[in-house]
Chain A
Amino acid sequence: MSNLFDLLVAGLATGAIYALVAVGFTLLWQTSQTINFAQGEFVMLPAFLMLAAMHAGAPFWLAIILGILLSMILLGLAFKMLLVDPMMRHGVLPLAIATMALAIGIKEAVKQFFSAEASPFPSIVPTGDISILGHAVSLQSIGVLVVAILAVLGLTTLLNRTSLGHQMQAAAQNPTVARIIGVPVERMILLTFLINAFLVALASLLITPIYLAKFSSGEVLGQAAFIAAIVGGFNQVRGAIAGGLLIGVLDNLAAAYVSTQYRAAVPMIFLIAVILFRPQGLLGRAEERTV
């Protein structure tokens, strides 16, 4: 069963990254009804920003900080102010389409200004294996898991234990009432966009050493995060985390035990089943029906 153990660890590591991306996805949905089809590209871009900083001569740690800051400005602030704000009141669909266009734009920009080829990316975790219970486990998997878990713990603490987090939740659940009781709703929405930008930059930092930096790498990732968010529950942060881990593990197990050809089908069939039989997601609350 050593094979199963390895698969589980690798699955959890990718799943943890999916979870980070999916959490950001659900945050945007909750606070501003934004279905961000560019979320995968949002993960792809920060790695290139960091690479650009390194090409300009910055050391790796500085490049990481610059990359995260730039991501928060571009993918958080600018995304919200230039695209989401003008379109939010026109309903879900036009904005979703605009983010599809944004995804094309980001992909093409990276292809044009950086490279169409895959570039290697340094890892923040040293490579090599350590032995756990007699199994060789790659340090990278462990590192990814630890960082992702810390990030998710930090976020849930922020949301559930601090006054700021409560204000954010209030702004998401009922903006009108939140405004009446004095929550700065606009600022809270902006904050979720910044948090999303931070999460995708972090995910970028974790996943790019494994899959290389490539302009098209966002497609698969965005879709996986998408599925994770829905499977877990579109309106729940902990749902997105569970969904991410589940999809990561499922994906890895499917590759080993089902068939490599149809590995991508397993999460999809799972997704359809969840939507049909439990549309609110495994951990989600049912949305109220509006007439």
Chain B
Amino acid sequence: MSAFAKPLKIALGLAVIAGLILVPMNFNRYGLFILSQWAVMSIAAMGLNLTLGYAGQVSLAQGAFVGIGAYAAAIMTTHGWPLPAAILVAITLSFAVGWVLGYPALRVQHHYLAFVTLAFSTLAFLVFRNESWLTGGIYGISNIPRPHIFGIATNKPLPFYYVCLGLLAIVSLAVWWLIRSPWGRAFMALRENPLRAQSLGIDTRRYTLMAFAIGSALGGVAGALYAPLTQYIDPVPFNLSLSLDLLMMVIVGGAGFYFGPFLGAMIAVLLPEWLRFTEGYYLMLYAVAVMLLLIWSPTGILGILDRTMAARRTKAASALRAVAKSRLETVQ
């Protein structure tokens, strides 16, 4: 069974990747925009999944880091810097701010931590809105250029979609590697039992800060892509509701599952679009769908899969046990 499952998984993965590359080729402008947005939000949600799903630290500030990344990219690229440089600055900046924001997590946990990060999120929004000398205030920053990658202009929607997809792939691989590394294991130890983690010699202090900083840095990457995607930013998209949306994506997809953020972002970005035909009702239906899903499976979509797999495994195991038992009896 398991010898068969691995090639199947690889084939499925390749099919999805091929689909993501090939299918959008004849999408229209809007379809490509939505799909690019999905890629961007997946990156941000993946960062939050590291902080929340793997390390167990609740953050309501991921939207603020997307904002920090977006403003860093917008300000730098409109002043003639190339996007890769802006992405590096966005990562460094978000990492540093995320590290500092991690300090409260050393003192308080759970809902208290959520509230500290919520307050930070609001403060960041106020800075975006009020420091007009830097951020353009409520008028925002317009004419954000899209990059040239290896000499190819990505002004058109399709090439830029591939930029988003490419960065999503890089981030996905990095996260895949990270959660399999000793660091990822330390994060999970932190989530499952901080006291035990500490007694096993894990520097919980450092890993808590790391979980925040790395998760935030990915938020910054997402932001640095968001700015050239929309080519115009103002403070409104980076208010608290983005942080709440991202949190919703992680939980709905399945916190602590590698593929959770992809699915969660798909639901949050694409489901409302699919429901557009219902006109004014689409966000209402979306809200109801999220509630029903969470009532059905509080661990998100992948939680359902996880449970059915576990149930099947138990079933298979008990079947084997029954066979073994009957054999034993015949021997006797």
Residues of A participating in the B interface, judged by any CB pair closer than 8 Å? 35, 37, 83, 86-87, 90-95, 97-98, 100-102, 104-105, 108-109, 111-112, 223, 226-227, 230, 234, 261-262, 264-265, 268-269, 271-272, 275-276, 279, 291
Q: Which partner residue on chain A sits nearest B113 by CB separation?
A: A275
Across the interface, A102 reaches (CB within 8 A) one of B118, B247, B255, B291, namely B291
Q: Mark B158-192, 1 if CB is under 8 A from A, else 0.
A: 00000000000000000000000000000000000
- Asked if A271 and B295 make an inter-chain contact with CB atoms under 8 angstroms apart, the answer reads no
- Asked if B284 and A105 make an inter-chain contact with CB atoms under 8 angstroms apart, the answer reads yes
Does B6 make an interface contact (CB < 8 A)?
no
A272 contacts across to B, CB distance below 8 A: 104, 116, 119-120
Q: Mark B101-122, 1 if CB is under 8 A from A, else 0.
A: 0001001101110011011101
Does B130 make an interface contact (CB < 8 A)?
yes
**C-alpha spacing A90/B303, complex, angstroms:** 12
Q: Which partner residue on chain B sits nearest A86 by CB separation?
A: B295
Q: Mark B192-214, 1 if CB is under 8 A from A, else 0.
A: 00010000000000000000000
B244 contacts across to A, CB distance below 8 A: 37, 100
Residues of B participating in the A interface, judged by any CB pair closer than 8 Å? 58, 104, 107-108, 110-112, 115-116, 118-120, 122-123, 126, 129-130, 195, 240, 244, 247-248, 251-252, 255, 280-281, 283-284, 286-288, 290-291, 294-295, 298-299
- Asked if A90 and B298 make an inter-chain contact with CB atoms under 8 angstroms apart, the answer reads yes
- Asked if B287 and A276 make an inter-chain contact with CB atoms under 8 angstroms apart, the answer reads no
- Asked if B112 and A100 make an inter-chain contact with CB atoms under 8 angstroms apart, the answer reads no
- Asked if B123 and A268 make an inter-chain contact with CB atoms under 8 angstroms apart, the answer reads yes
A271 contacts across to B, CB distance below 8 A: 115-116, 119
B284 contacts across to A, CB distance below 8 A: 104-105, 108-109, 112
Q: Closest 5 interchain pairs by CB?
A: A105-B287, A94-B298, A90-B298, A101-B290, A268-B119
- Asked if B119 and A83 make an inter-chain contact with CB atoms under 8 angstroms apart, the answer reads no
B195 contacts across to A, CB distance below 8 A: 291
- Asked if A83 and B291 make an inter-chain contact with CB atoms under 8 angstroms apart, the answer reads yes
**C-alpha spacing A91/B118, complex, angstroms:** 20
- Asked if A276 and B286 make an inter-chain contact with CB atoms under 8 angstroms apart, the answer reads no
A102 contacts across to B, CB distance below 8 A: 287, 291
State the majority secondary structure of interface residues on A. helix
A265 contacts across to B, CB distance below 8 A: 122-123, 126
**C-alpha spacing A269/B127, complex, angstroms:** 13
- Asked if A112 and B280 make an inter-chain contact with CB atoms under 8 angstroms apart, the answer reads yes
- Asked if B130 and A101 make an inter-chain contact with CB atoms under 8 angstroms apart, the answer reads no
Q: Which partner residue on chain A sits nearest B251 by CB separation?
A: A97
**Least distance between B154 CB and chain A CB atoms (Å):** 33
**Least distance between A227 CB and chain B CB atoms (Å):** 8
**Least distance between B236 CB and chain A CB atoms (Å):** 12
**Least distance between B129 CB and chain A CB atoms (Å):** 8
- Asked if A276 and B104 make an inter-chain contact with CB atoms under 8 angstroms apart, the answer reads yes
Across the interface, B104 reaches (CB within 8 A) one of A93, A268, A275, namely A275
**C-alpha spacing A279/B115, complex, angstroms:** 11
Among B107, B244, B284, chain A packs the most CB atoms within 10 A around the CB of B284
B240 contacts across to A, CB distance below 8 A: 223
**Least distance between A34 CB and chain B CB atoms (Å):** 11
**Least distance between B174 CB and chain A CB atoms (Å):** 26
**C-alpha spacing A105/B298, complex, angstroms:** 18
**Least distance between A31 CB and chain B CB atoms (Å):** 16
